[in-house]
Amino acid sequence: MSKNVNVAITGATGAVGADMINTLEKRCFPVASIKLLASARSAGKLLEFKGEKIAVEELTEKSFSNIDIALFSAGAARSKEFAKFAVDAGAVVVDNSSAFRMDDDVPLVVPEVNAAAALKHNGIIANPNCSTIIMAVAVYPLHKAKNLKRLVAATYQAASGAGAAAMSELIEQTRVLLDGGNPVADKFPHPLAFNLFPHIDVFMDNGYTKEEMKMLNEARKIMRHPTLNVSCTCVRVPIPRAHSESLNMEFENEITPEEARELISKAPGVVLRDDPGKNEYPMPVDASGMDDVIVGRVRRDVSRRDNRGLEMFVSGDQLLKGAALNAVQIAELLI
């Protein structure tokens, strides 16, 4: 692929789309031209890229002529409908939705974990789920050294995971509550302000939600570990952006917290922040706006009699590493 590429962003007016635009500029991605695509109601809206005002165009079947890379973040239904037209026009699609993640012929890529998989595409590369990306970046250096056997995760997921409108809803609900009113839920099943609930995505027959099962299925594919055991509980929390996760890990080989910290400190895409004596540990307020995932509270699992269990806590920006940044990093692999 040419080193100067024509880029299209589908879903450009959404929260992830906006961060895709900013990330392309921030990382000096070699954009020859950029096309911003969204629904008909957003057509004509002006967005800025490198100081230039660019009009949003309506997404259609003919939107991808002369496009080299198409970054999709408009939801699974739009991806299933329009990705094929981008591929047929000669573009490589990096898709941020769940539409193609588990397709056998579509690579599911976290560049810090399985970058080589991106080069084995048939026109479409999938961006994993946000909570899976944040977990994988933090856990993979430990798995590579000590062979992860089992993972139990509890995620604390920000409003940003449900989009820009959900972030606005959280702010409005907070104002209403502080004024003594009764907040109304629209984007969530319950009011989120001053609340949390263990419900993200739809419930499945096994009692887990679809979001929780994504971490099992996607982790196995990304880390090429089909026997990995994963159990996950996903909780929506009243945080604007940046997800956090409590991770309990069991390894096939012994590992100490000191070894884990050393491995994490040398790994790409993560920053170690682990000094409880100084109240230094991962927090979403610090992770918001950061490219790296923050890792801390690394400790031995005291419920075990051996040295094969660890606990740690991570925070990562859901809109950046959990979505836009990871997609742009995948695009960088292509050039």
Active site residues: 130, 243
Question: In angstroms, rounded to a whole number, what is the distance separating the alpha carbons of residues 204 and 326?
Answer: 28
CB 242 within 8 A of CB 316: yes
| Residue 9, φ and ψ in degrees, nearest 5 | -120, 115
Pinpoint the alpha helices (H) of the chain: 15-26, 76-88, 111-114, 130-146, 164-178, 210-222, 257-265, 284-287, 325-334
CB 308 within 8 A of CB 3: no
Q: Give Cα 293 distance to the centre of its chain.
A: 11
Q: How far is residue 152 from each of residues 21, 148, 303, 310, measured CA to CA in Å?
A: 34, 11, 13, 11
| Cα 37-34-5 angle, rounded to 5 deg | 130
Closest CA to 64 of 110, 11, 10, 12: 10
The counts of H helices and E strands in the chain are 9, 14
Question: In angstroms, rounded to a whole number, what is the distance separating the alpha carbons of residues 317 and 326?
Answer: 11
Question: In angstroms, rounded to a whole number, what is the distance separating the alpha carbons of residues 275 and 278?
Answer: 6
| Alpha-carbon torsion, ordered 176, 166, 237, 322, to 10 deg | -150
For residue 107, the SS3 value is coil
Q: Which amino acid is at 27?
A: R
Question: In angstroms, rounded to a whole number, what is the distance separating the alpha carbons of residues 228 and 187?
Answer: 33
* Those residues with Cβ within 8 angstroms of residue 219's Cβ, 6 or more apart along the chain or in another chain: 132, 135, 136, 151, 225, 228, 230
